[in-house]
Structure 1
Amino acid sequence: MLKLAKRYHVDVLQAITWNYSTAILLTWLIFKPHWISLQVAPVTTLAGLGILLPVLFVVLGASVTTTGIVRTDVAQRLSLFIPILASYFVFGETLHAVKITGIALGLVAIVCSIPWGKSTGGKASRGGWFYLLVVFIGMGVIDVLFKQLSAFKAVPYTSLLFMVFILSFICALIMLIIKISSGKTKFSFPHILIGWALGIANFGNILFYLKAHQALVNKPSTVFTAMNIGVIVMGTLVGLFIFKEKLSTLNKVGIFLALIAVIVIFNF
């Protein structure tokens, strides 16, 4: 959807803002979450996600503009290093030899899946590398924060998810109001419809990501790696069959290694 947004000149910030309104509504209708007291809520984790989720979308857009889509893609995919390290040093997971082999295969698959031969779509300016660093760190930190959120047992995770979406919507709305008031964009009703459609996908993505962490509570590296590899494989297949993109031999090797990595990680 974001690829189509670029093609049809959609204002990503407007779409992202209204996407959270759909996520809020779906969470409310499906799970009937309860309001939670700030005294029992993981305030730091909620605030971190509520700010990082919408802000990072804006940074991604700036990174693509200043450094190119390929460099941004590399930074986003390699951010897997951060939650993998957190699995061991923060969450205390024991990584045996076979699991480490699977993770290593996954990291190699990520590198192989990157379209190295394509034009970056822009030159990396001096400030552009700052955006790449923020994308790399931000994506990794978001993964870690979601793991922490799934491990919080004092409050139902659906209520926590509800709060994340509300905070993200407020943050995105503030950024949108500033952008409109400064004359950098104009309010457009079609963007609301686009955002609502995006919100359905975003809601499902985050919901099942949290469920995966709860189901595999002692195996955070499995969730981190499988999610990132899944994004690569599905994204590549969508690009191949829907957008008619061509795959290099290295890209095909990357997909094959990704599938092997998932099998190794989940079965050993």
Structure 2
Amino acid sequence: MLALFLSVLCSVCIVFIFKYFARFGVDTFQALIVNYGTCVVVGWLASGRPSLAPLLAGGPWLAAAVALGGLFIGTFYLVALTAQRVGVSAASVANKMSLILPVLFNLLVLRLSQRPYTFINYAGMALALLAILLTALPRRASASAEGAAATPAAGWWLPVLLFVSSGAGDSLLNFASSSLLPDAATRTLFPLVTFGTAGIIGLVLLLSRGMQQPFAAKNLVAGFILGVPNYFSIYFLILALGNFGNDGAFVYPVANVATILLGAVGAGFLFREQLGARGRVGLATAVVALMLISYQEIVAAF
């Protein structure tokens, strides 16, 4: 459970860092590229400079890592595109609701659940989705303001594509963790190759568009700061999946809902963000969802 909590904590840190990006005028795409390079370096050093023998040998795990790296950078681009053309709420909801795909993939394809799923667990998952909707959708006032600048009907396919891309990435990570990473060496190199691939793709895209300005110092610093929790969010997520028998139907809902809860509390302290009535109901729903999804673990602990 510690690895899952640390993954959630790192994910919340990433959200807060992005918040500061806007405040300090950081070029997000430049910082993102630096972030992926930082992930590789931090992972390399934190892992004790692992052997590259599995990388040279190749195999299905390497192809999965490269594909996941492409999904990482592609999902981020879709988040930005959806937020710009459709709306921030649509991007947030599509990204978070994508947990449906890895849950279904785990239950119907991988069948790796460590415990029988009962009606209580499924009710918890349904409440988790409701909690995401309640907390991700904007208040009525901001929704109207957002709607004035967005054209949802024209870009309906963007949230759908984001939903699929984000869910496919989580499902691929679950599959790789369960079937393609047989030893510690490949488990160490897998996130490094994933982040390295994302960084290379991002750099190629940046150069192909023509760099309008060189990498500014603040973008380099911001990318480095982002890269540390970004690497460990994936590292601890892979560790958490392994600790729970690669049961993505348990790990992903708990991780998403816990991120919402911790993020909301942290945002209240750091940024004085106030939740409306619907947001408070959403957080209360998230707490109940967590208890229902993990009630077997709670009972076992006591």
1:60 lines up with 2:79 in the alignment: yes
1:39: how far off? 3.7
Give, as a single letter, the amino acid of the residue that structure 2 aligns with 1:11.
D
Give the TM-score of the pair, scaled to structure 1: 0.91
User: Conserved in 2, the CA contact under 8 Å of 1:40 and 1:154?
Assistant: no
Give the TM-score of the pair, scaled to structure 2: 0.81
User: After the TM superposition, which parts of structure 1 deviate over 4 Å for at least 4 consecutive aligned residues?
Assistant: none
Aligned length: 266
Supply the distance in 2 between the matched residues of 1:260 and 1:126 (Cα, whole angstroms). 34
Q: 1:143 — aligned with what?
A: 170
1:49: how far off? 0.9
Per the alignment, do residues 240 and 82 of structure 1 end up closer, same or farther by CA in structure 2, a change over 3 Å counting? same
1:123 lines up with 2:155 in the alignment: no
Supply the distance in 2 between the matched residues of 1:76 and 1:82 (Cα, whole angstroms). 11
Write 1 or 2 for the structure with the bigger share of helix.
2
Q: 1:26 aligns with which of 19, 23, 42?
A: 42
Q: 2:255 aligns with which of 212, 217, 227?
A: 227
List runs of 5+ in structure 1 lacking aligned partners.
none
1:155: how far off? 4.2
Give the aligned CA root-mean-square deviation in angstroms.
2.0
Q: 1:153 — aligned with what?
A: 181
Per the alignment, do residues 13 and 127 of structure 1 end up closer, same or farther by CA in structure 2, a change over 3 Å counting? farther
User: Conserved in 2, the CA contact under 8 Å of 1:105 and 1:261?
Assistant: yes
List runs of 5+ in structure 2 lacking aligned partners.
1-16, 297-302
1:110 lines up with 2:102 in the alignment: no
1:179: how far off? 3.0
1:206 lines up with 2:206 in the alignment: no
1:195: how far off? 0.2
User: Conserved in 2, the CA contact under 8 Å of 1:180 and 1:187?
Assistant: no
1:87 lines up with 2:106 in the alignment: yes
Give, as a single letter, the amino acid of the residue that structure 2 aligns with 1:75.
A
Deviating more after overlay: 112-121 vs 243-252? 112-121
Give, as a single letter, the amino acid of the residue that structure 2 aligns with 1:108.
L
Per the alignment, do residues 125 and 222 of structure 1 end up closer, same or farther by CA in structure 2, a change over 3 Å counting? closer
Q: 2:96 — aligned with what?
A: 77
Supply the distance in 1 between the matched residues of 2:294 and 2:246 (Cα, whole angstroms). 13
Supply the distance in 2 between the matched residues of 1:97 and 1:78 (Cα, whole angstroms). 20
